[in-house]
Structure 1
Amino acid sequence: MRALIPEKLHDQLTARIQLDHPEHAHQADRILAQTLAFLLACAANPGLGLAPSKIVDVGWHTLILYTREYAEICQRIAGRMIHHRPDDDTADIGSCSPATRVGATVEAIRAAGLPVDVELWIPTSECSQCYAGCVDDPSGG
C-alpha cells in the first residue's frame, strides 16, 4: 500500500490522523493502509456501494482533506473520482445494512489480494459506522 502514495504524503496523512484523532495515533499507519485498500476495492467494484468501518473512515476523511492528491489517486487507481457521501438516501445503495456493506468491503479487499487488518474493520465494540453510514457513491459519479 505504501507505494500507492508518495512518502511525503504518507507522512502528512499519518501526522494529520495523529493530530486530529489522538485516540487513534498509535494506529495511524494501519488506518491509512486500510483506507488505501478500501479505495482500491472501490475502484475495482464500482457501483457496489462499499463502505469503510468507522475507524477506516477516519483515514478516508483525512485523505479527502488533501483534495488534489485525493483526486489524483482516484484517477490513477479508478479512472474516476471515488466520491464520499453519507447514505442518507438508501434508495441509491439498496437495502443493505451498513454492517453488510462493511462485510462486503472486507471481502472485496480480500478478493483483490490485499491484506485486511480485521481489528480496524470489526472492532469489538461495534461492527460498523451505522450512525454515519458513509459509502463510496454507487452512482459512479
Structure 2
Amino acid sequence: MAWLGRYVVAAVIFGVLDYLWLGVIARPVYEEHLGDWLADSPNMVAALAFYAIYVFGMVWLAITPALAQGSWVTAVLNGAVLGLVAYATWNLTNLAVLDGYPSGSVLYDLAWGTVGTAATCGLTFVVARRVRALR
C-alpha cells in the first residue's frame, strides 16, 4: 500500500509541475520551436500512458531506493539521472530520425526533464518520510 501511495503522490506532483511547465512557463518556447509539430490537442491516451509509465519509473528507480537508504540526495540524483536519460531518449531520437526536428528545443527539454523529475522525486521523498503510511 505504501508503494501505491508514493505513486499517487509522485503522479500529483509531476502532473502539477508538468502542467505548469508545458501549459504556462514553456508554452511560448514550444510554440516557437515546434510550431506545426504541435497537435491542436494532445492525445490523452498516449499522454496518460506516458505519465503512468514514467511515474512508475520514478517510484521504482529513485524514490523507493532513496527511502530505503534514508537519503533525499539519492532521490534527487536518481531522479535527475532518470529525467536526463528519458528526455534525452525522446529528444535525441527525434533529432536523429525526424527530418527538420528543431534542435533548439532539445536543450531546454532535457533541462526540464532533468529538473522536473529530480524535483518530483525529492518532494515525494519528503512527503513519504513525513507520512508514515508511505514509508
TM-score, scaled relative to structure 1 = 0.27
Q: Considering fraction of residues, name the structure with more helix.
A: 2
Q: Considering fraction of residues, name the structure with more strand.
A: 1
TM-score, scaled relative to structure 2 = 0.28
Larger radius of gyration: 2
